[in-house]
Chains A and B, each alone.
Chain A
Amino acid sequence: MWLAVLAACALAYGLKLAGYLVPQHVLDIPWVHRVTPLLPVALLSALIVTQALLTNDGTLVVDARAAGVGVAVLLLLLRAPFLVVVAAAAVTAALVRALA
């Protein structure tokens, strides 16, 4: 098991480092330069959907998480401060779970 743990750690770190080792001249290629700033938006948007609306087997579900994020979006529309948004999402999801 230790071998697997350390292999997973090494591979994870290798992947993280790989992003930093791409040479500048590659990043300066026009199409790469246009795409890289959009990568985090794409990945984080996908991550939000995964965290808020998908189950472990990839089924779409509206549950306490979606309720929390829904309240967060409402508060963002009302220009609430960041920490208020995050706290309200937690409280909403906790309440929905407590009531369910």
Chain B
Amino acid sequence: MNDTPDTDGMTEEGRTTRGARQRGPEDTAVIRKALGVALATGVYGITAGALAVAAGLSVLQAMALSLLLFSGGSQFAFFGVIGAGGSPVAAVASSTLLGVRNGFYGLQVSQLLGVHRWARPVAAHFTIDESTAVAVTQTQPRQQRIGFWVTGVGIFALWNLTTFVGAVAGGSIGDPRTYGLDAAAAAAFVGLLWPRLRGRDPLAVAALAVVITVVSAPFVPAGVPVLAAVLAALVVGLPARGPRSGVVAP
């Protein structure tokens, strides 16, 4: 695993070795992480499919959400509102609010991937919590790219397969939470961030983000607490003071 903290020279060095093709244990490590995350998250599509149909959506509509929207939080928000008897407009609004964070992810992920102009629309579709988490917690461009694509495409494949199964089978197939998969998904994020929480700034950002989320959560709609945590990055990142070690410098 890449447990070495970032050094200040990392960015330039990383750029020059971008095209390098050396395959090593780092590749295996990131692929293993990516597939682990894909498995822990992808199976959750069963719930996405089952809940969508339970809320009154058709199997085709459930599939459209997983294929085209492809962002778990937004999908659950969408049929959460519909299932509770809310209006379609409210469902769209709620789902969109949950999707704002993907836009923030794109800012950083686009820098790491260095994708061509034509590939950006494709990369954008796969930009979700998990693919971002695996990518930004790698220190080398090669592993960042591998992590992003393997996680993104892996989850997409599994998520859509399990959404279909969940939508067709409904509640009869069981709740992934019985197997602790919700805890596994959260633990995967912790495990990914863990080696990156070494520098002063990432630690400060993480701690502040946790406080902002917990304090704001009871008072604002779902999705807003996570967005409010952007403040943590602003508070820590805005003051210009000397060289710093971010998670991964772009």
Contacts and interface: CB of A to CB of B under 8 A. Distances in A.
Interface of A: 1-9, 11-13, 15-22, 27, 30-31, 33-54, 56-60, 64-65, 67-69, 71-73, 76, 81-83, 85-95, 97-98
Interface of chain B: mostly helix, strand, loop or mixed: helix
Contacts, number: 314
B189 A11 contact: no
Contact of B210 (A49, A51, A89): A49
B68 A13 contact: yes
Contact of A11 (B82, B88, B96, B136): B96
17 contacts: A9-B68, A12-B69, A12-B70, A19-B105, A19-B107, A20-B109, A20-B110, A36-B111, A38-B202, A39-B230, A46-B232, A50-B226, A68-B187, A69-B187, A86-B191, A90-B180, A90-B187
Contact of A43 (B36, B101, B216, B234): B101
A92 B88 contact: no
B120 A20 contact: yes
A86 to B, nearest CB: 5
A97 B237 contact: no
A82 to B, nearest CB: 5
Interface residues of B, number: 105
7 closest Cβ pairs, A-B complex: A19-B106, A68-B183, A93-B180, A89-B187, A58-B217, A93-B183, A4-B88
Contacts of B89: 4
Given A13-B68, A15-B100, A54-B217, A20 B183 contact: no
Contacts of A94: 178-180
A78 B136 CA distance: 23
Given A6-B64, A12-B71, A12-B74, A38 B183 contact: no
Contacts of B74: 8, 12
Contact of A9 (B69, B238, B244): B69
Contact of A44 (B61, B129, B207): B129
Contacts of B179: 90, 94
A68 B179 CA distance: 11
A47 B105 contact: no
Interface in B46-102: 56-57, 61, 64-65, 68-71, 74, 78, 82, 88-89, 91-92, 95-96, 99-102
A28 B182 CA distance: 38
Given A40-B136, A46-B210, A35 B187 contact: no
Given A13-B69, A30-B240, A41-B202, 11 more contacts: A4-B78, A12-B74, A16-B99, A36-B111, A42-B206, A46-B225, A59-B217, A65-B183, A89-B188, A97-B177, A98-B178
